[in-house]
Amino acid sequence: MSTPPHDLGIELRDLALVVGREAVTLARSMRESGIEVADTKSSAVDVVTAADRRCEELIRRRILTARPDDAILGEEGDDHPGTSAVRWVIDPIDGTVNYLYGLPDWAVSIAAEVEGEVVAGVVINGSSGVEYAAALGAGATRDGRPIAVRPSPPLAERLVLTGFGYRGDVRAHQGACVAALLPHVRDIRRLGSCALDLCHVADGSGDAYVEEGPQPWDYSAGALVLTEAGGRFGLLAGRLVEAVPGAASHGLATGAPAAGWDTFVEALRGAGFLA
């Protein structure tokens, strides 16, 4: 008999926690030994460190040892095809620039999909060790304790988290939208990790999140933590491609408590985020 979806999500979440803890330990060790830029991606400031690669290799190896038939989509390595219905989506270090500089907001992010639906998600803050985890239908936790989004205050009292891409012209568009939104909200925070931003909304230390450009490995785990905590996440149609010739977009990643979703989306529309 096959494993029920609910039980499978919990099983995959628990495996992701074990593997994620090991990856955090490796990343911390490499950071203490001194780390340098190993490569760049979309621009000269979009960096990859040796730790990104070593941690992804470790995560892949541990997952495939435990579940050799699963597929893997990772930020730093080639896709690994599988024969099961499960695909892992991993970001070995989300917030690499923070990691490089010794700033606290970086995380290991591991999600698992079953037939395209995310059923497990784990985000571990590599600096503090705080662990966010969720399984579809089983709720979300921070360090093992249940979490929930905070009630949505009026728009003017909401703290909004955001991020920026690494191309100058992309940042100019994103910055203009954020500048238009800023007068209408409590304040803006740019902490440097999409995965952790979504978890901050999930545990009530933020009211909303928006950014156009993140990839599935950036948001998959954090989005499940948010939705299981009573929030809502969506990839909306943004204006980036229209506004910046040659730019690529994977959608406007948007997260907020479910009760405050409509008001926040309308604010994004007014600020020019939405197509």
Q: Per-residue pLDDT for 40 more than 90?
A: no
DSSP annotation string for the chain: -PPPHHHHHHHHHHHHHHHHHHHHHHHHHHHHH---EEEESSSTTSEEEHHHHHHHHHHHHHHHHH-TT-EEEESSS--B--SSSEEEEEEEEESHHHHHHT-S--EEEEEEEETTEEEEEEEEETTT--EEEEETTS-EEETTEE--PPPP--GGG-EEEE---SSHHHHHHHHHHHHHHGGGSSEEE--S-HHHHHHHHHTTS-SEEEEE---HHHHHHHHHHHHHTTEEEEEE-BSHHHHSTT---S-EEEEEEGGGHHHHHHHHHHHT-B-
Q: Can you give the pTM of this predicted structure?
A: 0.94
Question: Can you tell me the mean pLDDT for 228-252?
Answer: 95
**Mean pLDDT, the chain, whole residue set:** 92
Question: Can you tell me the mean pLDDT for 81-88?
Answer: 95
**pLDDT attached to residue 24:** 97
Q: Per-residue pLDDT for 80 more than 50?
A: yes
**pLDDT attached to residue 166:** 87
**pLDDT attached to residue 3:** 58
Per-residue pLDDT tens digits for 94-120: 999 999 889 999 999 999 999 999 999
Question: Can you tell me the mean pLDDT for 39-45?
Answer: 47
Question: Can you tell me the mean pLDDT for 82-95?
Answer: 96
Percentage of the residues of the chain whose pLDDT score is greater than 90: 83
